[in-house]
Amino acid sequence: MPTIYSVADYAYETRLERASDRDPGPFELRLPTTRRYLAKMKPFGHAFRVVPLLALALVSAACGNNPTTGASVNGPVTLQVWANGDEGDKLAASQAMASFKSQNPNFTVQITPLPWTTAHDKLITSIAGRATPDVAMIGTTWMGELTKLNAVTTLPSSVNKSDFFAGGMDTASANGTAYGLPWYVETRVIYYRKDLADKAGVSSSPATWDDLMTMAQKLKAGGSKYGINLQTNDWQEFIPLIWSAGGDIMKNGKFTLDSPEAVKALTFYSDFFKKGLTRSSQPQGFDLIQAFVAGDDPMFISGPWMAGLISKAGLDQSKWAVAPMPKGDKSATSFVGGSDWVVFKNSKNQDAAWKFVQFMTSKDTQISWYKELKDLPSRQDAWGDPALTADPNLKVFGAQLKDAHSPPNIPQWEEVAKAIDDWQEKASLNKATPADAAKGMQQQATQIIGG
């Protein structure tokens, strides 16, 4: 499978997703002139109201405008689009943009590429200054903050949300309402050295938590330095275990990080450290890919971008494989990430902006974008294309995406995630019992949201 991200890109994303919460500023919804005028009209009877509205709709449709808002759908219109990271750098010259321009000759799309490291702050600043773009690409943990600022429009009702992976749609939603669409998605699975597993007497990938622990023990006993590589403080590795155990992060607006399921997940995770099956610290300059290729760390949990790095490092495909997350008491759930599109309330071209977003998230564009940049499609029907079905590793990611969740879209999530990381580390390094660490997560997270 080709490279999708570099490790540096992933680091940027992680730092970005952990940006601190900020106080909201006022953000006023401006109705288009036509709607403001109609809102002031006094009723003179049903027929009087319907006739002019119908006439307006017919005239607007004839002009290529949205019959409800009067805004231009077919142009001429200029859209300001902000896009981040590698995607932002390559969007303007992509085949996807060429196709959009070909089908919408009256649209001018001005793309501003942003590095992930500054995109969040620039977006928040633009909201405060009422200088947002029409459309922006956002991180999957930002929606809670943007909706708290009243900055983004809701998803048009004409969009069929079931076309997309449910986990991806969750990242584009807040409080049960969809505000955006997932552009691309990624999830985490188990990477393992198949040749070393065979040598250690393990003939199949781990299907359950017990299988994963046993496989790590056998790989270490078989000659590897460790059985698996886990992070002492990485909520993205840990919280899927809570879901798989049957627990959750929040329920009815309250954290449930000290539930029996959460304690069980933290106990299972920290056991790998207590048994010496994973590194308790990593030396300066540690390279996971090289450790995997050398057989020192024969398993790890990560996303699709690692496959290309392994191939680039020269490890033959026959010696490694990927497998879905192992099943806990209830499920085999993973984490879903990626990126979403949103349209801002401050945009004067909201209908045209949504037309752009729907084009970028259409089946054909998603396939085209995968072929160009290897971003995994957020639409389920795009996964039937031969470009994706031909790769056995991609099939594993596609299957895992059907059972992948995102953290709650609350404005304070980044701060809560830091608290989870801190207490996860205490449990991993045996500085707190799993029960005490879970209690610490719960108390600190509750304090952060003012509960």
pLDDT at 414: 87
Number of neighbouring beta carbons within 10 Å of residue 267? 18
The pLDDT-based confidence of 357 (bands split at 50, 70, 90) is: very high
The percentage of residues in the chain with a pLDDT greater than 70, rounded to a whole number, is: 83
Structure tokens at 317: 């495909």
Q: Per-residue pLDDT tens for 171-182?
A: 999 999 999 999
Q: Per-residue pLDDT tens for 362-419?
A: 999 999 999 999 899 999 999 999 999 999 999 999 999 999 999 999 999 989 999 9
Q: Per-residue pLDDT tens for 243-295?
A: 999 999 999 999 999 999 999 999 999 999 999 999 999 999 999 999 999 99
159 pLDDT higher than 80? yes
Asked whether the beta carbons of 134 and 79 are under 8 A apart, the reply is yes
Q: Which residue has the higher pLDDT, 11 or 328?
A: 328
pLDDT at 163: 97
Q: Which residue has the higher pLDDT, 229 or 51?
A: 229
Q: Which residue has the higher pLDDT, 22 or 162?
A: 162
Q: Which residue has the higher pLDDT, 94 or 58?
A: 94
pLDDT at 75: 63
What's the whole-number mean pLDDT along residues 50-74? 43
pLDDT at 249: 97
What's the whole-number mean pLDDT along residues 105-131? 96
Distances (CA, A) of 8 to 15, 20, 85, 138, 288: 11, 20, 11, 18, 13
Is pTM beyond 0.85? Reply is: no
53 pLDDT higher than 80? no
The SS3 call for residue 112 is: strand
pLDDT at 74: 66
356 pLDDT higher than 60? yes
Task: Give the C-alpha separation, 45 to 262, whole Å.
Answer: 60
Residue 203 burial (CB < 10 Å; 0-12/13-18/19+)? exposed
> Over the chain, what is the mean pLDDT?
86
The pLDDT-based confidence of 32 (bands split at 50, 70, 90) is: very low
The SS3 call for residue 216 is: helix
Asked whether the beta carbons of 182 and 164 are under 8 A apart, the reply is yes
What's the whole-number mean pLDDT along residues 302-323? 95
Q: Per-residue pLDDT tens for 225-248?
A: 999 999 999 999 999 999 999 999
Task: Give the C-alpha separation, 50 to 53, whole Å.
Answer: 5
59 pLDDT higher than 50? no
Asked whether the beta carbons of 327 and 203 are under 8 A apart, the reply is no
